[in-house]
């Protein structure tokens, strides 16, 4: 099956140029001006649009069992919504319960993900430690293409990874050529602050950011970075939301340490005033961790993205509907943590990033796609427009506008933290391995089309770190 995408401007991480693209059997087969359509090929006219690599969201939680409930977007609805917004791959998380075998959890998540409409990989979380975890990390990295492991430094008495497990796991990552990642919040402090606030009678959503102040994130980010420094591993810090965490990353990078940072569209754009809104449903709809921050953190995060201290943009897509959030009506610590975003990240980054002059179109491609592919062992199959790469392609209208709303989005959730924002920059067509899954408002996502992404360990920067260790 082949498709000719005719007449667009191809934008990748380096440059942009006019070119037609021929897609054959799900891969890019030719890139040149004036290509002829082979007989039987579908022809899509790109017109004045850009042709960009499909977005990669390196941080999602589809149908995650969490805080007594299950995230409402499953692997089908969530990836379909992603396609409607120009995101064609995700890296989700396998999160074993403490004492649960990693392999068992991985098998469970692989089963859940079979319905995905777009390609997916998995980071696997280290929530406890013993010899079986050590062994399973080896099996996952060597046989199943799990090239990154996640460590929650928060969520005490649940999935929190203590320093002992963190050190053991980072050490194992070095042996395997895998990349450790951290959710950086000091879980002991969060636990204590939550108890104090509830005891003082602060039980509403306004307590959520008070229990997780920026210093809690800064401390954990710095601790993880210094542990990584001592052991000699690269490190990826997920959802950097606070200036203090960003400063820790920038400082370490300035000292020659290889630390990558991820920022969420939500943390770039939403501030903490949402938690003081007296409408519980509205305030609880914004409860995620780390929380949204006072506005000056947003300026710092944008600057961090421009300066190259933050490398990827993600969403932490983890949806809960109002009845699920209501579990915490009398106690904010019980509000399921998580917000949606997979459908809107690309438009938001274009509108507020490229539209404001903070990012060039190629920088947009880097932070929405290419950098994630490179850091997480998927490049150049993903994140690139080159012959042989997967035809995960998006036709991008840089001037079309749309207004974001829960009433029109495709995400399976009744709330949108970007409600009412009108953004310029719209995915008009999304191809996933050559399949046209989104065309001018028509969602044609195919349940089960998505394939598991085996990712490569031991990439160039892992090798470079090994050299530095000597």
Q: Pairing relation of β-strands 422-432 and 435-439?
A: antiparallel
CB of 349 to Zn ion, least distance (A): 18
> How many residues contact ligand DUC, by CB under 6 A?
9
- Within residues 207-266, the interface with ligand DUC by CB under 6 A covers none
Q: Of these partners, Zn ion, ligand DUC, none, which one is at the site of residue 148 (CB under 5 to 8 Å by kind)?
A: none
Q: Of these partners, ligand DUC, Zn ion, none, which one is at the site of residue 390 (CB under 5 to 8 Å by kind)?
A: none
CB of 118 to ligand DUC, least distance (A): 20
Burial class (CB in 10 A: 0-12, 13-18, 19+), 364: buried
Looking up tokens 């040149």, which residue turns up?
32
* Gap between the Cα atoms of 275 and 87, Å rounded: 29
Q: Of these partners, ligand DUC, Zn ion, none, which one is at the site of residue 457 (CB under 5 to 8 Å by kind)?
A: none
- Helix 214-231 to helix 163-176 angle, to the nearest 10 degrees? 50
CB of 237 to ligand DUC, least distance (A): 13
Site string for ligand DUC, 278-307 (x = CB under 6 A): ----------xx------------------
Residue 370 makes CB contacts below 8 A (sequence gap 6+) with 12, 13, 53, 379, 383, 384
Contact at 8 Å (CB) between 406 and 414? yes
The residue within the footprint of ligand DUC, chosen from 63, 88, 186, 337 (CB under 6 A), is 337
Burial class (CB in 10 A: 0-12, 13-18, 19+), 191: middle
Q: Of these partners, ligand DUC, Zn ion, none, which one is at the site of residue 320 (CB under 5 to 8 Å by kind)?
A: none
CB of 379 to ligand DUC, least distance (A): 26
* Gap between the Cα atoms of 313 and 78, Å rounded: 17
* Gap between the Cα atoms of 390 and 371, Å rounded: 16
- Nearer to Zn ion among residue 144 and residue 183 (C-beta): 183
Length of the chain: 470
Binding of ligand DUC by 183 (CB under 6 A): yes
CB of 16 to ligand DUC, least distance (A): 35
Beta bridge partner(s), residue 264: 314
- Nearer to ligand DUC among residue 74 and residue 316 (C-beta): 316
CB of 79 to Zn ion, least distance (A): 16
The residue within the footprint of ligand DUC, chosen from 190, 246, 318, 445 (CB under 6 A), is 318
Q: How far is CA 216 from CA 114, 182, 191, in A?
A: 37, 14, 11
Q: Of these partners, Zn ion, ligand DUC, none, which one is at the site of residue 402 (CB under 5 to 8 Å by kind)?
A: none
CB of 394 to ligand DUC, least distance (A): 26
- Nearer to ligand DUC among residue 8 and residue 338 (C-beta): 338
CB of 67 to ligand DUC, least distance (A): 8
Q: Of these partners, ligand DUC, Zn ion, none, which one is at the site of residue 288 (CB under 5 to 8 Å by kind)?
A: ligand DUC
Site string for ligand DUC, 131-170 (x = CB under 6 A): ----------------------------------------
CB of 266 to Zn ion, least distance (A): 12
Q: How far is CA 106 from CA 23, 109, 122, 136, 463, in A?
A: 33, 5, 8, 10, 27
Q: Pairing relation of β-strands 148-152 and 119-125?
A: parallel
Determine how many CB atoms are found less than 10 A away from the CB of residue 161: 25
Q: Of these partners, Zn ion, ligand DUC, none, which one is at the site of residue 151 (CB under 5 to 8 Å by kind)?
A: none
What is the H or E stretch that residue 277 is in?
Answer: none
- Nearer to ligand DUC among residue 85 and residue 187 (C-beta): 187
Burial class (CB in 10 A: 0-12, 13-18, 19+), 131: exposed
Contact at 8 Å (CB) between 88 and 384? no
CB of 309 to ligand DUC, least distance (A): 21
The residue within the footprint of Zn ion, chosen from 74, 92, 219, 316 (CB under 5 A), is 316
The residue within the footprint of ligand DUC, chosen from 61, 144, 267, 455 (CB under 6 A), is 61
- Within residues 161-190, the interface with Zn ion by CB under 5 A covers 183
Beta bridge partner(s), residue 21: 5, 31
The residues of the shown chain that bind Zn ion, judged by CB under 5 A, are 183, 316
The residues of the shown chain that bind ligand DUC, judged by CB under 6 A, are 61, 66, 183, 288-289, 316, 318, 337-338
């Amino acid at each position: 099956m082949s498709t000719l995408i005719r007449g667009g401007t191809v934008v990748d991480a380096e440059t942009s140029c006019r070119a037609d693209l021929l897609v054959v059997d799900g891969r890019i087969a030719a890139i040149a001006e004036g290509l002829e359509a082979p007989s039987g090929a579908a022809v899509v006219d790109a017109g004045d649009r850009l042709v960009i690599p499909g977005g990669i969201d390196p941080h999602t939680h589809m149908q995650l069992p969490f805080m007594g409930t299950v995230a409402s977007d499953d692997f089908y609805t969530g990836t379909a919504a992603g396609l409607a917004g120009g995101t064609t791959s995700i890296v989700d998380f396998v999160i074993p319960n403490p004492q649960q075998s990693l392999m068992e959890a991985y098998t469970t998540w692989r089963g859940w993900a079979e319905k995905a409409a777009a390609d997916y990989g998995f980071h696997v979380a280290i929530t406890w430690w013993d010899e079986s975890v050590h062994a399973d990390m080896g099996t996952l990295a060597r046989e199943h293409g799990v090239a990154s492991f996640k460590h929650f430094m928060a969520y005490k008495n649940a999935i929190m990874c203590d320093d002992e497990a963190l050190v053991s796991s980072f050490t194992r990552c070095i042996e395997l050529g895998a990349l450790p990642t951290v959710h950086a919040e000091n879980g002991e402090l969060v636990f204590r602050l939550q108890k104090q606030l509830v005891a003082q009678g602060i039980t509403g959503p306004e307590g959520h950011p008070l229990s997780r102040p920026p210093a809690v994130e800064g401390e954990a980010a710095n601790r993880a970075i210094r542990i990584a420094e001592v052991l000699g591993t690269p490190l990826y810090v997920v959802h950097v939301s606070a200036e203090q965490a960003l400063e820790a990353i920038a400082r370490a990078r300035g000292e020659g340490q290889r630390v990558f940072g991820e920022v969420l569209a939500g943390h770039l754009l939403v501030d903490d005033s949402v938690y003081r809104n007296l409408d519980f449903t509205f305030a609880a709809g914004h409860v995620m961790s780390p929380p949204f921050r006072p506005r000056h953190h947003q300026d710092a995060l944008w600057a961090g993205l421009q300066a190259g201290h933050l490398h990827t943009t993600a969403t932490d897509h983890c949806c809960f509907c109002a009845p699920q959030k209501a579990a915490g009506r009398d106690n904010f610590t019980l509000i399921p943590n998580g917000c949606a975003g997979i459908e809107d990240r690309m438009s938001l980054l274009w509108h507020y990033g490229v539209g404001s002059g903070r990012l060039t179109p190629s920088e947009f491609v880097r932070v929405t796609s290419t950098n994630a592919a490179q850091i997480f062992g998927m490049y150049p199959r993903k994140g690139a427009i080159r012959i042989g790469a997967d035809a995960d392609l998006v036709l991008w209208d840089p001037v079309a506008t749309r207004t974001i709303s829960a009433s029109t989005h495709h995400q399976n959730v009744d709330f949108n933290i970007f409600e009412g924002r009108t953004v310029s920059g719209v995915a008009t067509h999304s191809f996933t391995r050559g399949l046209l899954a989104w065309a001018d408002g028509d969602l044609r996502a195919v349940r089960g089309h998505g394939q598991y992404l085996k990712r490569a360990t031991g990439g160039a920067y892992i090798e470079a770190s090994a050299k530095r260790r000597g």
